[in-house]
């Protein structure tokens, strides 16, 4: 009986186990590296966050003390960070971005953008050269690979005020993709302005949460039986 219940618990937990956005809470050791060319490809898969765009590689700063990344003044133009990851999730999902913007002069000059793509491989390893500044793909490395834009929000002007509301991105993962690319960017920051991002993660759908609850319940029963 104990073995059966243990097996059920493991299956319930395994049913929701999935590769996800790597270091989505920014509790890791920092950006993996500065992408000089501004492009990600399959060699960067599931490694974590990369910071890019030509110019100042420190436009976005990784703060391990506060588990966040931030950008203030000190660099002009768009600055971005991004990653490519794998996931077994399918169907409708929500990617939540927790962030805060300080618009010191209330000028509505600050702009942010994000993009999410799903990639299906063809006969090889899939797409290559995802430009984390322009949210666009370069050449393919195999025949038949496709990149599908799942979400795109560009240069949204904040309404002359500080901004702290979460960004909820509705994403249809369909029947699943071989890999996913996600990027976040800001435009120019004026004196005193800043943007801080504390979390970018996929919010489990109700069915997933239910499976997690089932796994926790069965695990509790196992502990009681063993006691």
Nearest to 93 by CA among 189, 203, 207: 203
DSSP type of residue 206: H
Sketch the domain layout of the chain as residue ranges: 1-16+205-227, 19-203
Residues 6 or more apart from 81 whose CB is under 8 A from it? 31, 49, 50, 51, 52, 60, 69, 132, 183, 184, 185
Q: What is the pLDDT of residues 84-124, one digit of tens each?
A: 999 999 999 999 999 998 877 776 566 788 999 999 999 98
This prediction's pTM: 0.80
Is the pLDDT at 62 greater than 60? The verdict is yes
* pLDDT digits 0-9 by tens, 160-216: 677 788 999 999 999 999 999 999 988 777 778 889 999 999 997 654 444 444 444
Structurally, at CATH architecture level, domain 19-203 sits in Sandwich (2.60)
């Amino acid at each position: 009986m104990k073995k059966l219940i243990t097996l059920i618990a493991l299956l319930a937990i395994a049913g929701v186990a999935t590769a996800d956005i790597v270091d989505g809470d920014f509790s890791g050791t920092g950006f993996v590296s500065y992408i000089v060319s501004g492009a990600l490809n399959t060699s960067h898969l599931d490694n974590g966050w990369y910071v890019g765009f030509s110019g100042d590689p420190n436009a976005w700063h990784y703060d391990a003390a506060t588990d966040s990344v931030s950008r203030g003044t000190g660099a002009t133009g768009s600055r971005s960070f991004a990653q490519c990851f794998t996931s077994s999730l399918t169907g409708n999902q929500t990617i939540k971005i927790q962030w805060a913007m300080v618009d010191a002069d209330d000028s509505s000059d600050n702009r942010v953008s994000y993009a999410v793509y799903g990639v299906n491989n063809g006969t090889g390893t899939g797409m290559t050269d995802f430009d984390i500044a322009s949210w666009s793909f370069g050449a393919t490395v195999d025949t038949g690979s496709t990149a599908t834009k799942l979400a795109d929000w560009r240069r949204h002007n904040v309404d002359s005020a500080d901004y702290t509301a979460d960004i909820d991105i509705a994403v249809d993962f369909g029947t699943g993709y071989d890999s996913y690319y996600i990027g976040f960017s800001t435009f120019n920051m004026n004196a005193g302005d800043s943007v801080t991002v504390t979390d970018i993660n996929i919010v489990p759908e109700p069915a997933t949460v239910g499976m997690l609850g089932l796994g926790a319940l069965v695990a509790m029963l196992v502990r009681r039986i063993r006691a």
